Amino acid sequence: MSIDTNSVIKVDHIGELIIFVRGQKVILDSLLANMYGVQTKSLLRAVRRNMERFPEDFMFQLTEVETEDLRCHNGTSKARGGRRYLPYVFTEQGVAMLSSVLRSPRAIKVNIEIMRAFVRLRQILLSHADLARKIDRLEKKYDAQFRVIFDAIRELVTPPKAEKRSIGFRD
């Protein structure tokens, strides 16, 4: 994703960049660098100079398996000239800490938008959890005749599970 260095990306677009890894909401280092208008190596160099500010729950490096899963999920290739090391990801707290390391006016604006995106995502997740609790309460309140309706509603609210398809020929 290429971002115009003169404009700040909007909250809706940032929300699309947040992924779940190890049960945490994170953003890839390369995407953050792109948003901040710097090279990934420059962003990571600034982080390395301030490692005491980035404990494991603020930033961590992906494993080879996680990187490969991410690559397959996004449909990107492992082309020459790309990364020679495993990517890092930043949690919400890590992104907030980046504001103390990257001090440009653009970094400040981007950081504000990223924090808004994390808050918005948290609100969406809470509203789904709240909706699930309300459905459970209603189900307990009414008898079995409405069970079919509640099951249908629950199916609509639950995101579909991705099927793993085998690769190759089938007999």
Return d(Cα 148, Cα 7) in angstroms, integer: 50
pLDDT for 126-160, tens place per residue?
Answer: 777 777 777 777 767 666 666 677 677 777 777 66
Return d(Cα 118, Cα 135) in angstroms, integer: 26
Q: How confident is the model at residue 69 (pLDDT cuts 50, 70, 90)?
A: confident
Name which of 40, 37, 27 is nearest 82 in CA terms. Answer: 40
pLDDT for 88-106, tens place per residue?
Answer: 999 988 988 887 788 777 7
Q: Is residue 71 part of a domain?
A: yes
Name which of 58, 33, 57, 31 is nearest 44 in CA terms. Answer: 33
Global pTM?
0.60
Tokens 């961590």, residue located: 60
In sequence order, the β-bridge partners of residue 90 are 27, 59
Q: Is residue 136 part of a domain?
A: no
What is the CATH classification number for the domain harbouring 113?
A: 3.10.260
Q: Is residue 90 part of a domain?
A: yes
**Domain range holding 29?**
11-123
Question: Cα angle vertex 109, ends 108, 111, to 5°?
Answer: 65
Q: Which of the two residues, 26 and 146, has the higher pLDDT score? A: 26
The predicted structure's pLDDT at residue 6: 47
Neighbours of 29 (CB within 10 A): 22
- Taking CA atoms, 39 is separated from 28, 60, 75, in Å, by 13, 18, 22
Q: Is residue 130 part of a domain?
A: no
Cβ within 8 Å of residue 40, ≥6 positions away: 29, 30, 33
Tokens 């190759």, residue located: 168
Q: Is residue 128 part of a domain?
A: no
* The total number of structural domains that make up the chain: 1
Q: Is residue 114 predicted with pLDDT exceeding 90?
A: no
Q: Is residue 70 part of a domain?
A: yes
Q: Is residue 88 part of a domain?
A: yes
DSSP state of 164: P
Backbone angles phi, psi at 19, to 5 degrees: -120, 165
Q: Is residue 3 part of a domain?
A: no
